[in-house]
Amino acid sequence: MSKTRLLLLIFCTLAAFAGAQNADSLFLHQNYYKREVMIPMRDGVQLFTSIYLPKDQTRQYPIMLRRTPYSCAPYGVGAFSDRIQNMAMVRAGYIFVFQDVRGRYMSEGVFEDVRPHNPQKKTAKDVDEASDTYDTVDWLVKNLPNNNGRVGVWGISYPGFYATMAILANHPAIKAVSPQAPVTDWFVGDDFHHNGAFMLMDAFSFYSGFGKPRPEPTMQGSPGFSDWKTPDNYDFYLRTGALRNFSEKLGMKNIPFWNDLMAHPDYDAWWQARNPRPHLKNIRPAVLTVGGLFDAEDCWGAWNLYKAIEGQNPAAASNRIVMGPWVHGGWARTGGERLGNVVFGQKTSPYYQENIELPFFEYYLKDKGSLALPEASIFLTGANRWEQYTQWPPQNARPTRYFFQPDRGLGNRPPQAGNNYHEYVSDPAHPVPYTEDVHLSRTREYMCDDQRFAARRPDVVTFSTAPLSEATTVTGPVIADLWVSTTGTDADFVVKLIDVYPDTMRGRENGVPLGGYQMLVRGEIFRGRYRNSFEKPEAFTPNTPTQVKFELPDVAHTFLPGHRIMIQVQSSWFPLADRNPQQFIDIYQARDEDFIKAMHRIYCTPEHPSSVILMMK
């Protein structure tokens, strides 16, 4: 394609997108009017709330509520949102309500990150996000004209956490809730920690702005850190060094929640109180959990919120999950037809909005349709098609173990006798990057990036099958079962599941040759000190084979004939995750000189058979 034709195509695409946006905005202005109110909570605090009401008052409408710490802007009754999450629902007719949560933007009160749920409220002073949701819903159904007495709650990311809290509100008007990419557990799997490893880049970039105290209600957000002095995040974070330097040199000591992160290195009672999953019992509303297979922030939360509800409620509970080939919130913000170099062959986001999300709320809030939605609507990457399942993981998926081999093969037979292992030096001064590209902000595309750059490093070990003779589908969690040793007393381990394209494959995407492409299907890090307990970390005994077994978030992927299944193992993923000093010390208080090299071994013996377990048909 010529450069002129490419520019013309880009211009036409942008023009079409702008036209669609303008049409959506025009419809909203023509068919809705806006109110702004302060809704009182039981303790006297008032929460700022924007309400979009249909001008047609000849019928009744259900209410859709989203509570957010990110502002319900634009403010002012004449200022309309450019686009509400699903325009198909706007056109179908709903009352839309957006609320600044307690202590954020224009609402009164004091904000608390992932405020713990309190199921034992005794006085009006005992408040949490569930009670604020209850009080909000109660006010809405009693005060908004022409509402039908039914409320749906939705939200993406942090608003997804507040949607989860709506399940716990137990207001009889709340009939349907959709937590989407929900913040669920910030220590085990979402956003700022993965299996105890601190996700440095996201935590610093986010909390340098979001975490600044708000002394009084405001319409303005706080800017984040901007004095990078380089376009290269790898260089910036490596030069900054140990975590304590971010506090002492870059001003993060002035961020209250950053200090909380530094003060709670283990999964103690403080963290456990911020996990809503144990409370999700005897739920009343129908739940539709939504997430992205390539969500860099809250993929874990979507899978595990669904599983918590499924495991703690009777079979009669209405509990469904949707996972598409999306980045964080991609089902509401992108067409969902591709990510980086990987193409999915269809616009998955409009399909979800029109065929899953809209029918779900129409059924539970309006009694419309028969709701022929399955338990699990999952997009199968590789095969590039939607699949419907009666349960997740699928009933016919069986755990299949793939053993690491001495010759770096990957197969179903255990390794034979011999003192076989693969070793590498992990050097905190030269950590493995999470992407080969130079960027300042963390990319979304790394979740399916080509991993050839990593496979070529001496501190990354690869294991691969022969080319597959038939399509092989993996549906469910991936279990890494490693036998390792280290010359240090602590170590991180990153395990990646990779789809290796045939060397003979033709074509390019974004200039990248697809022949031999190593597509990241799922990657995850685990901080080795937590191998037996997130609450009680343990040091490694140097040079002693030790089992490190952990679960990666679920996948839904088909490895096509001619492709190979590859596993990569490494001990840093920088600056996505912070570096491990490879000594059993408090990493949040470690100094630059505490970071040392260590030799790690991955064992492939009958006594210590390292492997991965894949859920396969």
| Strand intervals (E) in 354-491 | 376-380, 385-389, 398-404, 410-411, 421-426, 461-464, 472-486
| Per-residue confidence band for 20, with pLDDT thresholds at 50, 70 and 90 | low
pLDDT at 75: 97
What is the amino acid identity at position 316?
A: A
pLDDT at 16: 42
Which pair of tokens denotes residue 300?
């874990």
Which pair of tokens denotes residue 185?
């557990």
Q: In CATH, what number does 202-272 get?
A: 1.10.3020.10
Which residue ranges make up each domain of the chain? 20-185+274-389, 202-272, 398-616
Of 153, 189, 607, 156, nearest to 414 (Cα)? 607
Q: Provide the mean pLDDT of the chain.
A: 95
- The residues, ordered by sequence, that sit 6+ positions from 402 with a Cβ below 8 Å of its Cβ are 410, 411, 412, 465, 565, 567, 611, 612, 613, 614
pLDDT at 6: 41
Of 350, 286, 282, nearest to 320 (Cα)? 286
Highest mean pLDDT among 73-87, 311-325, 343-357: 343-357
Q: Which residue has 């009343």 as its token pair?
A: 284
Percent of the chain predicted with pLDDT > 90:
93
- Beta strands 472-486 and 546-559, pairing class: antiparallel
pLDDT digits (tens, 9 = 90+) for 332-387: 999 999 999 999 999 999 999 999 999 999 999 999 998 999 999 999 999 999 99
pLDDT digits (tens, 9 = 90+) for 576-610: 999 999 999 999 999 999 999 999 999 999 999 99
Of 225, 195, 231, nearest to 207 (Cα)? 225
The helix/strand/coil state of 556 is strand
| Per-residue confidence band for 21, with pLDDT thresholds at 50, 70 and 90 | low
Q: What is each CA distance from 162 to 174, 280, 354, 491, in whole angstroms?
A: 13, 13, 24, 35
Q: Which CATH architecture group holds 398-616?
A: Sandwich (2.60)
The CATH class, in words, for 20-185+274-389 is alpha beta
- Is the CB of residue 88 less than 8 Å from the CB of residue 33? no
Helical axes 299-312 vs 158-169, angle rounded to 10°: 10
Q: What is each CA distance from 420 to 50, 404, 527, 569, 613, in whole angstroms?
A: 64, 10, 24, 16, 20
Average pLDDT for 412-423: 92
Percent of the chain predicted with pLDDT > 70:
97
pLDDT at 439: 94
- Is the CB of residue 481 less than 8 Å from the CB of residue 614? no
- The residues, ordered by sequence, that sit 6+ positions from 131 with a Cβ below 8 Å of its Cβ are 41, 42, 118, 121, 169
pLDDT digits (tens, 9 = 90+) for 81-114: 877 889 999 999 999 999 999 999 999 999 999 9
CA angle 115, 117, 120 (to 5 degrees): 135
Which pair of tokens denotes residue 173?
């008007």
pLDDT digits (tens, 9 = 90+) for 286-302: 999 999 999 999 999 99
pLDDT at 55: 97
- The residues, ordered by sequence, that sit 6+ positions from 7 with a Cβ below 8 Å of its Cβ are none
Average pLDDT for 544-554: 98
What is the amino acid identity at position 168?
A: L
- Is the CB of residue 339 less than 8 Å from the CB of residue 327? yes
| Per-residue confidence band for 493, with pLDDT thresholds at 50, 70 and 90 | very high
Long-range contacts, stretch 75-81, CB < 8 angstroms, 24+ apart: 75/36, 75/50, 75/106, 75/219, 76/36, 77/33, 77/34, 77/35, 77/36, 78/34, 79/34, 80/25, 80/28, 80/29, 80/32, 80/34, 80/52, 81/28, 81/52
pLDDT digits (tens, 9 = 90+) for 505-523: 999 998 899 999 999 999 9
Of 503, 484, 490, 502, nearest to 569 (Cα)? 484
Q: Which residue has 């059924």 as its token pair?
A: 363
Q: Which residue has 């047609």 as its token pair?
A: 56
| Per-residue confidence band for 22, with pLDDT thresholds at 50, 70 and 90 | confident
Instruction: Indicate if 398-616 has the same CATH topology as 202-272.
Output: no
- The residues, ordered by sequence, that sit 6+ positions from 143 with a Cβ below 8 Å of its Cβ are none
pLDDT at 310: 96
Average pLDDT for 379-399: 97
